[in-house]
Structure formats: structure tokens, C-alpha cells
Amino acid sequence: MEYFLDVVNVRKAFSSVVANDDVNFRVLKGEVHAILGENGAGKSTLMKILCGLYQPDQGEVKLEGQTVHFQSPRDAIRAGIGMVHQHFMLIPALTVAENIVLGDEPGAVNYDKTGAIEKVKHLSERYQLHIDPKAKVADLAVGLQQRVEILKVLYRNAKMLILDEPTALLTPQESEQLFEVVANFKKQGMPVIFISHKLDEVKSIADRVTVMRAGRTVGSHDVTDLTVKQMANLMVGRDVVFALEKQPQRIGDIILEVNDLLVKDVKKHHIKVNNISLQVRKGEIVGVAGIDGNGQVELIDAITGLHKISGGSIRFNGREISRLSSSDRVRAGMAYVPQDRQLYGLVLPFNIVDNMILRDVRRKPFSNWGFLRKKVAASYTKPLMDEYDIRPRDPYKKAEELSGGNQQKVILAREVSRDPDLLIVAQPTRGMDVGAIEHIHQQLLRLRDEGKAILLVSLELDEILSLSDRIAVLHEGKIVDIVSAEKISREQVGLLMMGQSIEKYQNEVLQQ
């Protein structure tokens, strides 16, 4: 067997936190190798070692049998490691070709443009990554931007690709296209490391999987030998419940009522939310389904007060709130888990305690005559860290030092525990492991059963279908339909998301 990558006994610690310990795994030439692990298991740290951002404290990394010592990402790129990050690093105003060449020829104003375009064309044909080299990146959909990132590393002669949660921001169709691209790499002998929390994806595209637990690798397996459930159990170390138990609904008064809501983009050029009317009542979860970019973010930003409205009304607990600031809306009983956790959800240089009481820092019991009661704040935080399994269990750890999934847990713990009348959650489980998803879903259902109102925005159709009582489907800023979750199938929601009608689908099915 020919190994491209061999990781031997790697260890990496950040002061007292050992992020990687005794890490061992091998990647074969031409295989898709998934890395699975709970939030905080050490996957990102390991990948940062492989791409030269961190140096290991101990152990060895070998490429094609040769030990390598990367001092910087540049060294790793030169050795053929191509990392495609979750958050793209592209310059929107430049073309595809310019973005691809940039970085390889820094500051090169006089680079060989025709040659570069030719090379990009050649690469996109070879790997079936079809894209127009002259298109402006700002005009491309997310899936195509990701192609540019992949082409960028291929242009630098990558011999192995690392894809870090590559489908987190993709539509199901874009994910399918990505999997075809990955299959192509495989055919051409290029190894791919694939990090994902989505076990179905791992099952369908990976050949082998290495599982990490608490910083250590606990084994590598052929994917064909494992079921999705077994993968989940290996990762979490216990049985994971996939099916949710939903209690019968007890609907109460209207908590949120949006009427004829009109929201434009910041420059007021385009309508983002087009005359939307929607109600959320006590004891129900209303899911908002839609392909990314169809007005979901603007809708919830308008309700929470982060985005100005251009028309219509928003009533919360019977009171018109569209002129209230977002902090006044929070005081009135609204809680919000934003889509962009690093921008709005957390203050990254603050520790977990400070982030946990962020919204209530000036109020009792955390403040007394203007003085922060640190002990009270800490004893409020610690049980929440246990309940939400926030790792490491150090309440004074800075948010920026937490893994992505653990950052998300801090926000959810804070917002859910504030006991709001209305909870608005956007992509609540993005980047979370299966065990954490199970817990969050149970918490959302508990709030619903306690009579709270929940507005759930998610790109995960299965999440919308399993949690929601009613589903509002958005397309191009409009609500196509509001349907009962019990009476609609996954395919029907998919059709509505594309702006098509269900009747057409039903007629087609009848005719078959």
C-alpha cells in the first residue's frame, strides 16, 4: 500500500489544554479519508499542523515517506498540501483567474495573464471544475466560490487536498456537485482529507475514516464496515438517538406577528424581504426553509432589530416593536442565536463567563450597584457548561480559544437559558457534532413544550422537518407557502424552495 501521508505520535498543547495527543493516522494515495470527532476533539488543530499554521510539540509528519517540518503555510503549500478552509479567502472584486494567481505571484501586476487563464482552464477541465476564469468572484454563488478556492490550491500544485467541513454552506445540489469533484480527484490518484460532522456524507464519499476523541485518534476504519449509527457511537462513545420524540402540540396566544414586512438591502437597491406576513404562537416551532440567500437572514435581522425595515409591522407580545433597538427587544423577552456567531454572537476576546452573561451584565443578579458580581456570574455559568458539555470545562477560557462547535454551544446555552418568550435561532447546529445536535434539538423541543415560541431558520432540511410544527418556505424574499410539517414531504419542501408549486408535483406523481 502506498501512503501519501503518515502522521506519527503527534502532540500539540496550548498551555494546559492538550489539543492533540498521540495522534496517528495514514492517508493512502487516491483515497478519501474522513476525520470524525466531537466538537473540540482536535480536528482543526491537527489540520492546522498539516498545513503549517502550527508546529507539533512532538511527533512526526511524513509525506511520501519523508519527514517534513513545516515552519509556515508556505512550506506546506510547497510540499503539496492544499487546504480549503470553511471560510473562503477570496477577493470579491477580482476575477476568478486573478484570485487563483494571487498569492502565488504576490504583487505581480505584470503576471502572464493569458498563461494564467490557460492554466486555470486546463485545471478546471482536468478535474471537471467548470468555471469561467474571467467571471468576477463577487458574482459567483457559494458553490462556485468554493471551486475557486479548490482551483487556487491546485494551481499551486497541490498533491493532497484537505476539505474542512466543505458542505457547511452549500445547498444540497452544490454538495452533490462537490462530491462529483471529489470522486474525480480520487480517480486521478489525489488523496483527499475530508472533515465533516455529517455522517451520511462521510458514509457516501469516504473510503476510510479516522475517529478522534479528546485529542487522540482512536482508530481508522473502512467506511464500508461501519453504519452511520456505529460511526456516531465511535465518535461520541455512547448511543446517539437520531429520532426525536415530539409531544402533541399545545398552541397558545400569538407571540410574534409580522405583517407585510418589507426589507431592503443596506444600500436600499434591492428588496430582500418582500411583503412577508407570519405568525409564531406559544408552544410552536415555525421553521423557515429556503435556499441560502433567499431573504432568511434579512427577515430575522429585521425581527431582532439588526436590520431596518422599509415597510410593514412587527408585533411582539401584542406590542409594535419595529422602532425599538435590538437591546430593547431582548429586554422585552426575545432571544437570538445569530447565523454569524463570530460577528454577532460572541465577544471573542472575552471569557466564557463574560459571554454567558453578555445580555444581562447590568442586571440583577449579575450586577449590584453597578458592580459586576463575578462569583455569581461564574456559578451561573458552570452548570450551563456541564449541561451543554462545553469543553474544556474552564469558564475563564477565552471564546476565541474554543473550537467552533463549542463557541456555538456557548451562544445556545446563553440564549436558551434566558427563558425567552420568543427564541429566534439561525443555523443552530452548524458545525456541531451529532451528540451536541441531539442535545440542542431536545432543548428546542423542551422550550416549545413549555409554551415558548420559536422561529427556526436552517439550511438543514431534515432539521426543519423534524423540529417544526409549521414550515414557512421562502423563495426570492417571498413566502411561497406556510405548511404543516406533518403533512409535507422532504421533496415537496424542496420544490417549494425552488419556487415551484406542490400541486404541479402532485399532478406529475398522479400521472406516473
Ligand X SMILES: Nc1ncnc2c1ncn2[C@@H]1O[C@H](COP(=O)(O)OP(=O)(O)OP(=O)(O)O)[C@@H](O)[C@H]1O
Closer residue to ligand X in complex, CB, 44/468: 44
> Looking up cell 456555538, which residue turns up?
408
Per CB under 6 A, contacts with ligand X among 2-31 are: 14, 17, 19
Closer residue to ligand X in complex, CB, 38/469: 38
Residue 188 neighbours by CB distance under 10 Å: 9
Question: CA–CA separation, 331 vs 380, rounded Å?
Answer: 19
**Binds ligand X (CB under 6 A): choice among 287, 392, 395, 477:** 392
Q: How far is the CB of 196 from ligand X (least distance, A)?
A: 10
> Is 41 a residue that touches ligand X (CB under 6 A)?
yes
Longest Cα pair distance anywhere in the chain, in angstroms? 72
Helices (H), 198-284: 199-205, 228-236
In whole angstroms, what separates CA 25 from the centre of its chain? Answer: 26
Q: How far is the CB of 258 from ligand X (least distance, A)?
A: 34
**Binds ligand X (CB under 6 A): choice among 42, 56, 166, 420:** 42
Q: How far is the CB of 398 from ligand X (least distance, A)?
A: 8
In sequence order, the 6+-apart residues with CB closer than 8 A to the CB of 381 are 352, 353, 356, 357, 395
Q: How far is the CB of 180 from ligand X (least distance, A)?
A: 26
Question: CA–CA separation, 130 vs 179, rounded Å?
Answer: 14
Closer residue to ligand X in complex, CB, 41/192: 41
Sheet containing 470-475: give its strands across: 334-337, 422-426, 453-457, 284-289, 470-475, 478-484
Residue among 143, 187, 138, 184 at smallest CA distance from 166 = 143
**Binds ligand X (CB under 6 A): choice among 23, 25, 27, 40:** 40
Q: Sign of the CA dihedral 432, 437, 441, 443?
A: negative
> Is 427 a residue that touches ligand X (CB under 6 A)?
no
**Binds ligand X (CB under 6 A): choice among 283, 405, 420, 477:** 405
Per CB under 6 A, contacts with ligand X among 274-313 are: none
Question: CA–CA separation, 185 vs 122, rounded Å?
Answer: 15
Residue 362 neighbours by CB distance under 10 Å: 10
**Binds ligand X (CB under 6 A): choice among 21, 401, 438, 463:** 401
> Is 409 a residue that touches ligand X (CB under 6 A)?
no
Per CB under 6 A, contacts with ligand X among 229-268 are: none
> Is 345 a residue that touches ligand X (CB under 6 A)?
no
> Is 403 a residue that touches ligand X (CB under 6 A)?
yes
Closer residue to ligand X in complex, CB, 99/406: 406
Q: How far is the CB of 17 from ligand X (least distance, A)?
A: 5
Q: Please give the helix or strand (H or E) that residue 151 lies within, else none.
A: helix 142-155
User: Total residues at the site for ligand X (CB under 6 A)?
Assistant: 20
Closer residue to ligand X in complex, CB, 87/319: 87
Per CB under 6 A, contacts with ligand X among 428-447 are: 431
CB 290 within 8 A of CB 461: no
Q: How far is the CB of 38 from ligand X (least distance, A)?
A: 7
Q: How far is the CB of 403 from ligand X (least distance, A)?
A: 3
Closer residue to ligand X in complex, CB, 131/212: 212
Q: Which residue is nearest to ligand X (CB)?
A: 405
> Looking up cell 512526526, which residue turns up?
60
Query: Considering only 84-92, 176-184, 404-412, 493-501, which stretch makes contact with ligand X by CB under 6 A?
Result: 404-412
SS3 annotation, 289-351: ECCCCCCHHHHHHHHHCCCCCCEEEEEECCEECCCCCHHHHHHCCEEEECCCHHHHHCCCCCE
> Is 37 a residue that touches ligand X (CB under 6 A)?
yes
> Is 56 a residue that touches ligand X (CB under 6 A)?
no
Residues that bind ligand X (CB under 6 A): 14, 17, 19, 37, 39-45, 391-392, 401-406, 431
